[in-house]
Amino acid sequence: MWAVVVVTVNLLAGPQAVVVTAPGTFKTEAGCQAAIKASVPSSLDAASKAAFAAGARKYVCVRVDEHGALPPR
């Protein structure tokens, strides 16, 4: 399972990573990457789009760690 994560690094506050899709939204990394390609940067506001274009904002696919996951009810 895969999720999209946005990564930024601030000079004073340091790195920040935020999951922007529900963990496990994508079954494959290729599906996750296709979603990023289809949605970014067209869905971003002006400030986020500028940060993305400048390389200050990256969208990456991260594998969801299933270790310790609760069983379905």
* Predicted confidence (pLDDT) per residue in 40-68, tens digit: 988 999 999 999 999 999 999 999 877 76
Average pLDDT, the chain: 88
Give me the phi and psi of 4, to 5 degrees please.
-90, 135
- Collapsing DSSP to helix, strand or coil, 44 comes out as coil
pLDDT band at 16 (very low <50, low <70, confident <90, very high): very high
What average pLDDT score do residues 22-37 get? Answer: 91
pTM: 0.78
Task: Note the pLDDT of residue 35.
Answer: 93
